[in-house]
A and B are shown apart, each in its own frame.
Chain A
Amino acid sequence: MIEKFEEWYRNRHEYQTDWKQRNPDKKMVGFFCTYTPEEIFYAFDILPVRVLGSHEIQDVTEPHIFAMFCPYCRDVLAQGLKGKYEYLDGITIGASCIHLRQAYFSWDIHRNPGWSHYLPMPGHVQSPRAIPFLKGEYELLIKKLEEWTGKTITDADLKRGISIMNDARRAMKKIYELRKQDAPPITGVESMYMTCAQFFTDAREFTPVAERVYDELQTRKLDRPVGKRLMLVGSENDDLEFIHMVETLAEREPVGATIVMEEHCTTTRYFWDEVDTSIEDPLEAIAERYVLRTPCPSKDWPRRSRLDRILQFGKDWNVDGAIVVQQKFCDPHEADIPFVRKHLESNGIPTYFLEFDVTTAVGPFAIRVEAFLETLEAEEDLF
């Protein structure tokens, strides 16, 4: 069953066009950032799907986003400009960093499928004013969706949306718990396939599969050495080639590793936090969830709250080291990285820094990761 995640990841367009055929009366909206309240779209019976890049070299975005912005946001735009998402009915972004919103803007100008919405999302998430503001924005979004779909929604619809998303989150968190084991039954690559597959699929179809995978993992034994337990921290990352390289190093080298945890917007920053269903007003509950989730660094101020969670992940998943990943030109993470590294290192978790582009130079990166793993060995010898 676990292979299903890879299949969905690799064949996202096939899945999504098939979904449209199976649901001819329903709409599908592409979203660009994990600050999009998917619960509200599900309440309208609209399928929200995240648009990620394809990790292919492209030459179509240069006239639209100039080269000082992150390669990921340009890769996302390339998907639209190359016509890979012609089947979408709408696009939206819940605003986080200013890089990614450019992919949305250019897509809106040049490939607008007929409906688009820019959702202001508070930057000052540590302020008590953020939740009422966001709730006000959700009310505007709902009005616009009502006009578009001709449907009105009730609290019961919102609660249904919440439960769809919470179920998917819970299913993934249960699987993440298994990665705490000395010999995790799931690799980092498989886990990344899972979290990204959730972006691309209907959560109502994803969750039952994730639950079955969880059951299967109870008895699964992987025939591979675990090696060093690593955590990935940083910018957007769905670079499966890189993760695969790290996890297969032991086949070629005397050192090896398994990615047991990550803090990325493709993984835990996206799904870790659930909507609190004890809050009576579902819209407020959704707003609270997006305001209180682990923030993108661009929203993590005045206190750098991410650090505590990252460290806690490191401790709970018993990691030997962390690879701090930064997409080239990713200002939000660049502003945090020296402090993330300092925090982890002063708490006994060695770190290594890598800068990612659309495609990673797997060869040179292999040498660098291997060198990092060797330093982890050396540290072990010392004590």
Chain B
Amino acid sequence: MAKYPTEPLKCWSKAKELREKFYREFSEAHEKGGLRWMGSAWAHDAIPQGLGRDVKCITGEPYGASCAFDRPLSAEFLAATENYGFARDLCSYMRNYWGSILVNKYALGGEFPKADFAFSQHICCSHAKWYQNACELEGGDVPLFAIDVGAGPYPPFAPKLYEHRVKYVQEQLLDAIDWLEKVTNRTYDDELFLECVWNDVRSTHTWAKICMLNRAVPAPLDEKSIYSLYVFGTLQKSHPEFADFYEELYDEVTDRVQRGIAACPTEQARVMSDTQPPWGFLRIYRYLESWGAVSIGSLYTFGLEGMWLYDDERDEFEPRPMPAEKPKTREEGCMLLADWHLSKPEYQHFYHPEYKTRMMAAMAKHWGVNGIILHYNRGCEGLSVGIAENRLGLLKRGFKVMTYEGNMGDEREFDEKATETRIDIFLEALGLQKPE
């Protein structure tokens, strides 16, 4: 029985169009005299954008997820990677991506568009290796620059923001600009760069504000829809249209909250998840909803690209405020990018699982969560680091926690039926009743 009114998101089709346009622009960039680059979703994408408006990118993780969503295509890509000699337990996004190069098939149609350069960041062991190998597989003549962001935790998880840490990242970003000018033979446009930095800050801040709205009961957004929306931060957070789109989305979700519009009209219980889902099986989220349980999000969907700060004293988790002033110089722009992204919630667990447990516990408290579902994701070592300790830490704090094993991008490692059975048991324990 529906408890709350519901309605589709008005900007849904716009989101779809923007996403399609993004992938199309990457493949067509050369025809328009532009450049193409590849890199991680966490790359400081404002940096290469200072080369010109005709510079288009593809980010590996959302592309890998798109491949995984198409299971037969993904199977072909994964097989190609294994045949090349790569282990089948490596990051499954990365294997889908390499497979796409090896098979020479673009998941959105046509041949795989070779990049002119690679620009990434590195915190998980696989980040820079991903593009090092992609460059090699694309013929060995694609240059790579990667920024190491493994500079240590951000306050309050470190006593303070140490100058040498943020400087380490800032200086690499400045070096990257010099390098880009050299490998592309283009003159760098600082004004355009600074505009892109601001777009990055705007979109990552606004995304966090949107997620804050999901504290409302009923939740205006469910996590399956969130997956289609958070993606813009992963595609290119410095993109002006994406930053504008998030502001539009914020207004629409605010309106939903004011009118009491639910994502799941039967919302009785709220859960949160963790790490990437098994992309080929998103229907498990609809399965949850058939029980009246809505997944309101996760530290992953909120904090992969959204910018937040955890407040130790208040045990609060809130959007990181926008900087008071726009950066005016290349140095200031790089400093802002370095500092802003070092505070990324999804970077902190690389230094200790306890930091993530604290943020998750605060989320569970403030978003009114009844149970936590952890995906032990065999496809992503980076976001699974410490996850078993997160489970123990959350249990210790009195939360109800369920785990299931799977793989975000390799369907061979996900057992849908067994997962549903685990969900049944968990939701029953939360006091819900199996739907008729």
Contact = CB atoms under 8 A, between A and B. Distances in A.
Interface of A: 62-66, 68-69, 95, 97-99, 101-102, 105-106, 108-109, 118, 120-124, 127-130, 132-133, 135-137, 140, 297-298, 301-302, 304, 326, 328-329, 331-332, 334-339, 341
Contacts of A123: 122-123, 128, 148, 150
7 contacts: A98-B124, A98-B350, A102-B385, A105-B389, A302-B132, A332-B125, A339-B136
Contacts of A122: 148, 150, 168
A222 B46 CA distance: 63
B147 A124 contact: yes
Contacts of A326: 87
Contacts of B378: 68
Given A66-B376, A301-B144, A335 B90 contact: yes
A341 B128 CA distance: 20
Contacts of A66: 376, 384, 387-388, 405
A69 B384 CA distance: 9
A334 B85 CA distance: 9
Contacts of A109: 353-354, 389
Nearest to B170: A129
User: Which of A68, A101, A108 neighbours the largest number of chain B CB atoms within 10 Å of its CB?
Assistant: A68
A265 to B, nearest CB: 14
A283 B122 CA distance: 26
User: Which of A101, A329, A331 neighbours the largest number of chain B CB atoms within 10 Å of its CB?
Assistant: A331
Given A63-B391, A105-B386, 17 more contacts: A62-B388, A64-B392, A68-B378, A98-B385, A99-B125, A105-B352, A108-B352, A109-B353, A118-B352, A123-B123, A129-B172, A133-B151, A133-B164, A140-B162, A302-B132, A331-B89, A332-B125
Contacts of B152: 120, 137
A334 B385 contact: no
Nearest to A121: B150
A78 B146 CA distance: 35
Contacts of B86: 334-335, 337-338
B150 A95 contact: yes
Contact of A105 (B126, B132, B162, B353): B353
Nearest to B122: A123
Contacts, number: 143
Interface string B342-364: 00000000111110000000000
B116 to A, nearest CB: 15
B382 interface: yes
Given A64-B388, A124-B122, A337 B85 contact: yes
Nearest to A333: B87
Nearest to A124: B148
A161 B353 CA distance: 32
B342 to A, nearest CB: 11
Contact of B168 (A106, A133, A332): A133
Contacts of A331: 89-91, 125-126, 381
Please give me the 6 A-B residue pairs with the lowest Cβ-Cβ distance, nearest first: A136-B164, A124-B148, A338-B85, A133-B168, A335-B129, A123-B148
B150 A120 contact: yes
A326 B90 CA distance: 13
Nearest to B129: A335
A109 B385 CA distance: 15
Contact of A302 (B91, B144, B165, B385): B144
Contacts of B122: 123-124, 301
A63 B165 contact: no
Nearest to A337: B85
Contact of B384 (A68, A132, A135, A302): A68
A118 to B, nearest CB: 6
Contacts of A338: 84-86
B124 A334 contact: no
Contact of A63 (B125, B143, B388): B388
Contacts of A133: 151, 164-165, 167-168
Given A122-B150, A127-B172, A338-B86, A136 B165 contact: yes
B350 A127 contact: no
A95 B307 CA distance: 25
Contacts of A298: 125, 129
Nearest to B94: A335
A118 B355 CA distance: 13
Given A99-B381, A332-B129, A129 B171 contact: yes
A328 B350 CA distance: 21
Contacts of A69: 381
A91 to B, nearest CB: 13
Interface in B392-410: 392, 405
A301 B125 CA distance: 11
Nearest to A109: B389
Nearest to A302: B144
A335 B385 CA distance: 18
B148 A334 contact: no
B244 interface: no
Nearest to A62: B388
A331 B151 CA distance: 21
B162 A136 contact: yes
Nearest to B377: A68
Contacts of A130: 148, 168
B308 interface: no
A128 B179 CA distance: 13
Interface string B108-145: 00000000000000111110111011001000000111
Contact of B145 (A68, A302, A304): A302
A301 B128 contact: yes
Nearest to A69: B381
Contacts of B130: 335
A90 B392 CA distance: 23
Nearest to A329: B89
A338 B87 CA distance: 9
Contacts of A63: 388, 391-392
B132 A118 contact: no
Contacts of A297: 129
